[in-house]
Structure formats: structure tokens, C-alpha cells
Amino acid sequence: MDTKNNTRISEFLLLGFSEDTELQPLIFGLFLSMYLVTVLGNLLIILAIISDAHLHTPMYFFLSNLSFVDICFTSTTVPKMLVNIHTHSQAITYAACIAQMYFFLLFIEMDNFLLAVMAYDRFVAICHPLHYTVIMNPRLCALLVLVSWILSVLQALLHSLMVLRLSFCTDIEIPHFFCELKQMVQLACSDTFSNDLVMSFTSVLLGGGPLAGIFYSYSKIVSSIRAISLAQCKYKAFSTCASHLSVVSLFYCTCLGVYASTSATQNSRSIAAASVMYSVVTPMMNPFIYSLRNQDVKRSLFGG
């Protein structure tokens, strides 16, 4: 066998967005600002839900979990990038890279599942309002979140273990600002067929499954709203979904945009820039969407 495939590297280089030293302070300031806004905004949502008894409902239980996951999601990638810019270093150790990839996969899948669970919650609330409290009982809510965590952990663990079995040779430059799964697999100098197969399978099953659930839930919601005769009742029913629908649109449109850019261009730096939309911008925007479009959260945060 080829001896170079047995070489164990100690670190990778994260190339980030640009090697222009004049742009580094601007990139640092921009991402530090977005990270702080993300953490503070989502913490405010969590604290508002915990402190206000009126928000102790299934919808806000799921929202608090989403806010927690968004904080963890952004914290997986941005702090390391900020440290590298500050220290003028691109290095990340092999172990740290695998860990970063694992947690990134974990939290993005949790985002995916939680958005599907929240869509189901809205479906029950609008399509079966008289049975809402019976169906969405605390036990079911906790079970839905627990199953989401278990599936996300297993999915991230599977991909990470499969990357661990790959061999990396002399090409250790990752044209991204974090250790992204697809980029890691492309750098490997050993056979990656099984990795590609598992990535495709899990994308369809664990990525497409929740998205299909969201589409189904909202198709039923739209049918129920159209059947309502009073315009005021229609508006009230739709307003309960507006915030979640905005977050779903932002998350999936940016994710699909990254995949579209991946197939349309070979410029990895462009792909890294596009990835910022769902990995940094979306978690930052979620608190604004829920605080500005949701009257209950707005009342809890700002009073009145």
C-alpha cells in the first residue's frame, strides 16, 4: 500500500475569507459584533421565557431550546476564527478540527430538527386547537427534544468517526473559516466513497425528512386558515406562525443557497462567504425575528 496514506498530520490551516492583512481588522470587528449580538440576543430570549410565566408553553419551550442551540452553533466556529485573526495564525490542531466539525454537525442538525418540531407544534395549535394542551403535553415536548438531540448526536458521531478513518497527506489547507465536513473529505488522500455515500444518505434522510415535515405541517396550516371565514381570525391564526415561518425561510434558503453556490462555482472562498449566512447571520437574526414579530416575546422583553 502507499506509505503516504499512513501519515498522521498534527494540524490543518484554516484559510478563512482573505489573506489580505488590511482586511483582517475589518473581518475581526464584523464577526465579533455579530457573535456578541447573537449570544446576547438569544440569551435575552431564553431569560424572557424562563422569567415570564405566560411564556411557559410548548411553543416557547421549543424556542428557548432553539436559542440555546443557536448560541452553541455560532460558538463552535466564530471564536476560533477570531482567535486565529488576533494571533495572525491559521492553524487548528487535528483533534480540535475533528471536534469543531462534530459540534458543527450536531448543532446544525439540532436546528433542523427543532424547526420541524416547532412546525408540528403550530400545526397542532391551528389544526387541532381543542386538543392542543392534551397532544402537546410536557412529556411529548420533552420527548421530541430528547429524540432530536439523540439523532443529532448519532449523526454527528457517525460522520466524525468516518472522517477519523481517512488519511491526510501534504494538503492540509482548508479553504474555509471552520472545519467543514465536505471540505475535510475532499482533502483526504484515501478512498472517500463511503464518506460521500453516507453524506448523501444522511442529507436526504435527516435533512430532507424534517424539511418534508415542515412542508406538510404548513400545507395543513394553510388549508385550515383558508377554511376560516372571519378575516380577523385568519390574521390571528397566521400571526402565530409568522415568526417561525420567517426563521424557517431564512435558515433553509441560506442553506440551499450555499449548496447551489457549491455546485455552481469552484471558488471555495465564495462558498465560505456564503456559509456565513446560515452559520452566523441566521442565528443572529432569530432573536430579532421573534422579538419584533412576536407580541408575547416583545411584551416580555420590553413591557407594555
Structural domain includes residue 215: yes
Q: What's the pLDDT at 170?
A: 75
Q: What's the pLDDT at 266?
A: 55
Which residue in the block uniquely carries the three cell numbers 499512513?
6
52 three-class SS: coil
- Between helix 24-51 and helix 282-293 the angle, nearest 10°, is 40
Phi, psi of 13, deg, nearest 5: -120, 120
Structural domain includes residue 5: no
What nine digits make up the cell of 58?
410548548
Split into its structural domains, the chain has a count of 1
Structural domain includes residue 4: no
Which residue in the block uniquely carries the three cell numbers 424556542?
63
Structural domain includes residue 3: no
Ranges of the chain with pLDDT below 70: 1-8, 171, 230-233, 236-237, 259-270, 292-294, 298, 303-304
Which residue in the block uniquely carries the three cell numbers 466524525?
160
Structural domain includes residue 93: yes
| CA dist 36 → 23, 28, 40, 90, 280 (Å) | 20, 12, 6, 22, 11
pTM over 0.95: no
Structural domain includes residue 111: yes
Rounded to whole angstroms, the Cα distance separating 180 from 124 reads: 36
Q: What's the pLDDT at 261?
A: 61
Structural domain includes residue 56: yes
Is 242 within 8 Å of 118 (Cβ atoms)? Answer: no
Q: What's the pLDDT at 6?
A: 43
What nine digits make up the cell of 161?
468517526
Domain that holds residue 169: 10-302
Q: What's the pLDDT at 1?
A: 38
Which residue in the block uniquely carries the three cell numbers 497527506?
169
Structural domain includes residue 214: yes
Domain CATH code at residue 225: 1.20.1070.10
Handedness of CA 29, 35, 38, 44 (dihedral sign): negative
What is the DSSP annotation of 256-296? HHHHHHHHH---HHHHHHHHHIIIIIHHHHHHHHHHHH-HH
